[in-house]
Amino acid sequence: MMEISHLSVTYPNGVEAVTDANLMLSPGEIVALVGESGSGKSSLLYASLALLPRGSKTSGEVFLDGINFLSLPHDRKRQFRWKKVSLVLQGSMNSFTPVLAMERQFVEAMQEHLNMKETDAAARAGELLEEVGLDRKFLRRFPHEMSGGQKQRCAIAMALCCSPDYLLADEPTTALDVITQAEIIDLLKRIVKARNMGMLMVTHDLALAASIADKISVMHRSRIVETAERDRIINDPKHPHTISLIRSLRTMEEEH
């Protein structure tokens, strides 16, 4: 279980981006955190992994299977970040080193974090690529030899390389075209369920959230204002902000 408890974040410029947020994520569960731009979604995600800019203030706790991650020393946090919980970001697909073939990038990551032998790491990289729907021949390619969708599949494979229990994803499909977006969403859902991982996905897109999540949390002006099962949020929203989000979704559907 991942449990975010009374988490608050203030940036060095004094902006309080997250106020007293509480959120639970169980193994095998997908929770979508939705809200308008600037509501604090990304801040919550980064704060829960202690990845905010220097000088930011975080209070509260983030329990990963009972251990308060935020109170761990720096090197233990680093281990947890790959092995217990990992990240997929909108820009992940552009974070590969341009001058190295994919195999080298996977091997280096696995050697660093799992102390694996080169041949074992290369074999494991091939398996990971197949798991995300790419032929293992893609290991020979350089990042510029792949499409955005293929690179994002590689980024997901990379996030899985230490077999984490939790995956945090910040707008993982936003930079992609609609068809590729749907394919990546299906892929994430399939992997998370097959591996019984918990996934917290940040998105501004309520329709996308509804297509993948078991539970939806709605964020508004730094606060989580409502959390419930997906169908309850969509069919019977309670908070005025959730009601207006659902209304605008319905209007968009009617216009198309």
Ligand X SMILES: Nc1ncnc2c1ncn2[C@@H]1O[C@H](COP(=O)(O)OP(=O)(O)OP(=O)(O)O)[C@@H](O)[C@H]1O
Positions in the binding site for ligand X (CB under 6 A)? 11, 13, 15, 17, 35, 37-43, 53, 204
151: which residues sit within 8 A by CB, 6+ positions away? 93, 94, 96, 143
Q: Which is nearer to ligand X, 17 or 192 (CB)?
A: 17
Q: Which is nearer to ligand X, 28 or 38 (CB)?
A: 38
Report the nearest approach of ligand X to the CB of residue 134 (Å): 28
3-state SS of 3-31 is EEEEEEEECCCCCEEEEEEEEEECCCCEE
Report the nearest approach of ligand X to the CB of residue 57 (Å): 12
Report the nearest approach of ligand X to the CB of residue 47 (Å): 9
Q: Which is nearer to ligand X, 128 or 218 (CB)?
A: 218
Residue 111: phi, psi to the nearest 5? -65, -40
161: helix, coil or strand? coil
**CB-count exposure of residue 117 (10 Å: 0-12, 13-18, 19+):** exposed
Q: In angstroms, rounded to a whole number, what is the distance separating the alpha carbons of residues 188 and 139?
A: 20
Q: Which is nearer to ligand X, 221 or 232 (CB)?
A: 221
Q: Which of 45, 42, 39 is nearest to 23 (CA)?
A: 45
Report the nearest approach of ligand X to the CB of residue 67 (Å): 25
Q: Which amino acid is at 8?
A: S
Residue 49: phi, psi to the nearest 5? -110, 15
Query: Residue 156: which H helix or E strand, with range?
Result: helix 148-159
CB 181 within 8 A of CB 189: no
Q: Which is nearer to ligand X, 55 or 98 (CB)?
A: 55
Report the nearest approach of ligand X to the CB of residue 18 (Å): 7
Report the nearest approach of ligand X to the CB of residue 180 (Å): 20
Q: Which is nearer to ligand X, 105 or 203 (CB)?
A: 203
